Structures are given as C-alpha cells and as structure tokens.
C-alpha cells in the first residue's frame, strides 16, 4: 500500500528508511493537518458540487422546475431563483462533485482537482461573457449570476489548489519515499 509523500520542505526528506517511516503518514501516525488540507478542500468542494447538482432537481430550491430543460438557454428553471440551470448543468455539477470526492483521497489529485477545476470555471466564466444569453451556443445554460459565481469559484479553487499544495503538483514538492532495501 502506498502512502502520500510527506509535505515538508525538500531538505526535510528523510535520508534513511527508518527516518522515512517516522515522518510519512501511516495508520499509526496520521497525516499532519498541513498534509490533509488539500484533501479536505477537495472534499468540501466535492460535497458542495454534489449538493448543488441534486438541489437543481429539487422543487422549492429550484424555481420553475417544470420548465427545466435538458440543455440549452431555453431552460427557465433557476436554482434558488437566481442561477439558471438545466438537467445538463445539474448533472455536470454532480459529476464535478463526485470527481472531487474521489480526488480528495490523495494530496496530488486533490491539488490537481482544485487547480484544474478552478481553471475550468474561469474558462466557463469567459465563455459565459462571450456567448450571448439567447445564443444556441449557450448549452449549459449560463446567465449573469452564473457568470459571476463561476468567476468566484474559479479564483477560490485555483487559490486553494495553489496555496494548499505548494509545489506538490508542479515540480518542487516532496519526493516519493524510497523503497526499503534489505
């Protein structure tokens, strides 16, 4: 069974297998709070997106639910009476949440999920600004409230990934633990 690498500075990587055992998370020595942060953030985002995906199908949380379209700008349903949704939009939120929950199991996948999910939301924000509300290209669908929410989500997710992982994904993070030699 492999364990996530220790998230200390590169110079704090243990020199011997015995030292590695003392510093790497194991069932006997759980990960330090700093090591758990990316996974906790990915899990929180995942749970939130799953709940939003489900809420988009719940009467009372979604107005005009009878007008919920499969996809496209003609869907008149709005989550919380503000954010335009469609069945596709809800399923995408649910799927993104499920990916976040799976990614939360490992530090590197948590950081990658936060960074890539944030970048995707920033691209979706730009897309929403460029594509007209009544355009056939508005397939998700998106309205002004969605656009500004996507900007906020994108910035928060990128910041969370960048600051919680500090180099874990892009190079100067910790090295994997060396295999023991007998």
Place of tokens 């990587």: 13
Residue that wins the pLDDT comparison between 99 and 132? 99
pLDDT of 18 strictly over 60: no
Predicted confidence band at 22 (pLDDT cuts at 50, 70, 90)? very low
Structure tokens given for 141: 């669908």
**Spatial distance between the Cα atoms of 103 and 42, rounded to a whole number of angstroms:** 7
Highest mean pLDDT: which range of 7-21, 83-97, 125-139: 83-97
Cβ contact 100:118 at 8 Å: no
Q: What is the pLDDT of residues 147-170, one digit of tens each?
A: 999 999 999 999 999 998 775 555
Q: Where are the domains of the chain?
A: 35-165
Q: How does DSSP assign the chain, residue by residue?
A: ---PPP-S-GGGS-SSHHHHHHHS--SSSPPPHHHHHHHHHHHHHHHHHHHHHHHTTSBTTEETGGG--SSSTT---EETTTEE--HHHHHHHHHHHHHHHHHTTSHHHHHHHHHHHHHHHHHHHHHHHHS-TTSTT--S---HHHHHHHHHHHHHHHHHHHHHHTTSSSSSSPPPPPPP--
**Left if phi > 0, otherwise alpha if psi is -120 to 50, otherwise beta: which for 30?**
beta
Checking if the pLDDT of 126 tops 60, the result is: yes
Rounded to two decimals, the pTM is 0.73
Q: Hey, what long-range contacts does 120-128 have (CB within 8 A, 24 or more apart)?
A: 120/154, 121/150, 121/151, 121/153, 121/154, 121/157, 122/150, 122/151, 122/154, 122/155, 122/158, 123/154, 124/150, 124/154, 125/150, 125/151, 125/154
Instruction: Please compute the mean of the pLDDT values over residues 79-89 and round it to a whole number.
Output: 93
Structure token pair of residue 140: 């998700």
pLDDT of residue 179: 57
Question: Residue 8: its pLDDT value, please?
Answer: 47
């Amino acid at each position: 069974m492999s364990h996530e690498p220790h998230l200390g500075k590169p110079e704090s990587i243990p020199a011997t297998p015995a030292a590695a055992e003392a510093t790497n998370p194991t069932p006997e020595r759980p990960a330090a709070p700093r090591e758990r942060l990316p996974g906790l953030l990915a899990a929180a985002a995942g749970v939130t997106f799953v709940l939003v995906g489900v809420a988009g199908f719940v009467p009372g949380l979604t107005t005009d639910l009878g007008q919920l379209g499969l996809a496209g700008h003609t869907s008149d349903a709005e989550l919380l009476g503000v954010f335009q949704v469609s069945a596709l939009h809800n399923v995408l939120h649910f799927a993104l949440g499920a990916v976040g929950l799976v990614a939360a199991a490992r530090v590197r996948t948590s950081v990658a999920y936060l960074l890539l999910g944030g970048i995707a939301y920033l691209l979706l924000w730009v897309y929403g600004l460029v594509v007209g509300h009544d355009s056939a290209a508005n397939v998700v669908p998106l309205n002004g409230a969605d656009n500004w929410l996507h900007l906020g989500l994108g910035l928060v997710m990128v910041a969370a990934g960048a600051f919680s992982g500090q180099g874990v994904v892009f190079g100067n993070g910790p090295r994997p633990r060396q295999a023991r030699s007998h």
